[in-house]
Amino acid sequence: MYRRVLITGGNGLLGQALIQKMGQSGNYDIMATGRQSRPLFAGGSCGYMSMDISDFKNVASVFQDFSPDVVINCAAMTQVDDCESEREICWRVNADAVENLAKQCRKFGSHLIQVSTDFIFDGLTGPYREADRPNPLSYYGRSKLAGENGVRHAGLDRWAIARTVLVFGTGENLSRSNFVLWVANSLKQGKSISVVTDQFRSPTYVYDLADGIERIVRFKKSGIYHLSGRETLSVYDIAVTTAEVFGLDRTLINKTDGSQFKQVALRPPRTGFLILKAETELGYKPHELRDALAELANQLKIQSSESA
């Protein structure tokens, strides 16, 4: 029997990858939702409804119409610096709306999977495992932690939190870029860039993340899962590896650090995840970073030859 899966943030980077991954499996009846009146991606493997997760009436009516077995919340205000300056909107989307989604899930008996972030940690003792103590440094991190708590305390029979780190990949008509695409595009245009050597992350290929989430759905899991790449390296080294795999000029990448490069919101210095729980309970096997980057480079070549 098909399981009815509602995906929020369907026009975003992760949303599009999940729709593709779950659509291919043939086991799910997928309803994608996004703020826009129509999907920004092609492909007919799912239905689409317009839904702003912070509009409670809108959410209630979509649940009434679709009655989901599973809800995967990929919608979020993800721009970390904007969250610092636009706190009210950030809280409404990343915290209040999640609590409301959880209430609807309790009413409809749906399995809720909330996507969360390494920025709930302070970055003093990474890489982190699931049971480590959160201590967010930024408003974005605080709002995402509140979203997690809203899910955990909603009285749901089945819920999961899938945390991830520095996600990269591509999609159609995305409203924002990601670190790897920014590095690749800048170097392709011959622009020099400055990248920090004192922040450490486990870069995550969006299709690996989608695969991990599909496994949470398939195995009907509850609890917290860390879904990232296996390697933790400095953001500078991620940029250099991208240049090497894409065949671009790595000498355009300059080193900087937190003392020179100021951002509006504080970033945790060393995050990265330990993914043993996902490997053993879900059979999660992310690509090696270089392999994932090579696959992405290939996909981008295909995309640009299609649009030429």
Ligand X SMILES: NC(=O)c1ccc[n+]([C@@H]2O[C@H](COP(=O)([O-])OP(=O)(O)OC[C@H]3O[C@@H](n4cnc5c(N)ncnc54)[C@H](OP(=O)(O)O)[C@@H]3O)[C@@H](O)[C@H]2O)c1
- Positions in the binding site for ligand X (CB under 6 A): 8-9, 11-15, 34-35, 52-54, 74-78, 93, 115, 117, 144, 164-167, 174-176, 178
- CB atoms near residue 287 (< 10 Å): 18
Query: Smallest distance, Å, CB 278 to ligand X?
Result: 15
Here the tokens at position 114 are 């909330």
Least distance from C-beta 308 to ligand X, angstroms?
A: 25
Tokens 């119409």 sit on residue? 65
Phi, psi of 5 (to 5 degrees): -115, 120
Minimum Å distance from CB 85 to ligand X?
16
Are the CB atoms for 120 and 112 separated by under 8 Å? no
Contact (CB, 8 A) for 220 and 157: no
Which one, 11 or 110, has the nearer CB to ligand X? Answer: 11
Give yes or no for a contact between 181 and 205, defined as CB atoms under 8 angstroms apart. no
Residue 55 vs 257, nearer CB to ligand X: 55
Q: Which residues contact 144 (CB under 8 A, 6 or more apart)?
A: 76, 94, 116, 117, 119, 120, 136
- Closer CB to ligand X, 27 or 175, in the complex: 175
State in angstroms the smallest separation of the CB of 34 from ligand X.
6
| Cα-Cα-Cα-Cα dihedral sign, residues 53, 144, 46, 69 | negative
Q: How many CB atoms lie within 10 A of CB 308?
A: 5
Nearer to ligand X, 86 or 279 (CB): 86
Minimum CB–partner distance for residue 38 and ligand X (Å): 12
What SS3 state is found at 9? coil
Judge whether 278 and 134 are in contact, CB under 8 Å: no
Distance, CA of 175 to CA of 198 (rounded, Å): 28
For ligand X, which is the closer residue by CB, 78 or 110? 78
Cβ count within 10 A of residue 251: 9
What is the smallest separation between the CB atom of 193 and ligand X, expressed in angstroms? 18
CB of 251 to ligand X, least distance (A): 26
Q: How far apart are CA 206 and CA 54, in angstroms?
A: 25
Secondary structure (3-state) at 256: strand
Distance of closest approach, residue 190 Cβ to ligand X, in angstroms? 26
Of 96, 127, 80, 101, whose CA–CA distance to 274 is shortest?
127
Give 22 or 76: the residue with its C-beta nearer to ligand X: 76
**By C-beta, is 113 or 154 nearer to ligand X?**
113
Which residue number has the CB closest to ligand X? 12
Q: Which is nearer to ligand X, 75 or 282 (CB)?
A: 75
